[in-house]
């Protein structure tokens, strides 16, 4: 009955490898792109906060993330944390 553990570990590894939060996708982003264009590359954001018409969206988690600041629907700022 020890087979489920290796299968579970393999599944976790494959899910982590499928993350769209990586340097290749970050390099595809450009300021001036629309929200929908960014979502087409990265998928739905983990969270977005909006203050005074400026929306800051984050993809990923505390260890590895991409942040995009939008004014209206246009990307104004891009930043990455710990991408490989």
- pLDDT given at position 10: 46
Q: What is the pTM of this model?
A: 0.78
Tokens of 65: 């993330």
Select from 3.30.1450.10, 1.20.910.10, 2.160.20.10, 3.40.109.10 the CATH code of 20-81: 3.30.1450.10
- pLDDT given at position 5: 56
Residues 6 or more apart whose CB falls under 8 angstroms from that of 29 comprise 38, 41, 42, 66, 68, 75, 78
pLDDT tens digits, residue range 17-76? 468 999 999 999 999 999 999 999 999 999 999 999 999 999 999 999 999 999 999 999
């Amino acid at each position: 009955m020890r087979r489920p553990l290796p299968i579970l570990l393999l599944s976790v590894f494959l899910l982590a490898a499928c993350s769209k939060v990586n340097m290749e996708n970050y390099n595809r982003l450009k300021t001036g792109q629309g929200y929908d264009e960014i979502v087409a590359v990265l998928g739905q954001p983990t969270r977005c906060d909006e203050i005074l018409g400026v929306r800051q969206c984050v993809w990923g988690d505390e260890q590895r993330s991409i942040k995009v600041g939008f004014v209206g629907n246009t990307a104004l700022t891009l930043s990455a944390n710990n991408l490989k």
